[in-house]
Structure 1
Amino acid sequence: MEKQKKGLLFVSCEEAQHICDKAQYDEASLFDKIKLNIRLSWCKVTRAYYKRNVKLTEKIKESDVDCLTPECKENMKKELNKAIQEQAS
């Protein structure tokens, strides 16, 4: 499906969803946020997508998930590379 630009301030639903994703991670520009808000004012599909994104972000922030430490990640990477080299030999 091809992305279609609607104009300077009016964006397609797909582009609005992309902007929504960027805004979720604080990567959207002010102009992008303005375009998103215009789209949110009249598009039910984009509003529903936005609401799901907000809920997902809240749930992830609420979760108390322990992530791997950088050292653990590095060790896993070394072990994986070692196993790959052994397989190639």
Structure 2
Amino acid sequence: MKFFLKCDDAAHVCDKTQYKEAGLFDKLMLKIHLLMCKLCRGYAKRNTKLTKTIHSADIKTLSPEEKERLKTRLQDEIENGYNS
């Protein structure tokens, strides 16, 4: 069992933590690493800011039915030519 993370591993754990996939031990090792590594602290801070920005963006997406209609329409346009 290793007690110190390399920066690449810390970034991976940081990403897992962002998506709530990291275990307790991984989170603890990340916290220890972040105390010692300024670069990874910056990465974690930017990761957190990105996550908050995405969640607050209130992005609207197409429903599966709308996507299918759009796909069909595009295929029809391609098959029939653009200027027909």
The separation in 2 between residues aligned to 1:11 and 1:45, in whole angstroms, is 13
Letter of the 2:40 partner, please give it.
T
Q: Compute the RMSD of aligned alpha carbons.
A: 2.1
- Structure 2, unaligned runs of 5 or more: 80-84
| Superposition deviation, residue 67 in structure 1 | 1.6
The separation in 1 between residues aligned to 2:16 and 2:8, in whole angstroms, is 13
Contact 1:11 1:35 (C-alpha < 8 Å) held by counterparts? yes
- Structure 1, unaligned runs of 5 or more: 1-6
> In the alignment, is residue 72 of structure 1 matched against residue 58 of structure 2?
no
Contact 1:9 1:38 (C-alpha < 8 Å) held by counterparts? no
| Superposition deviation, residue 60 in structure 1 | 0.5
| Superposition deviation, residue 52 in structure 1 | 0.2
Normalising by structure 1, we get a TM-score of 0.72
* Highest RCO, 1 vs 2 (Cα 8 Å, sep ≥ 6): 2
Larger Rg: 2
> In the alignment, is residue 44 of structure 1 matched against residue 75 of structure 2?
no
Match for 1:15 among 5, 9, 12? Answer: 9
Normalising by structure 2, we get a TM-score of 0.76
Q: Decide which structure has greater helix share.
A: 2
Structure 1 segments of 4+ aligned residues over 2 angstroms from their partners: 70-73
Count of aligned pairs between the two proteins: 75
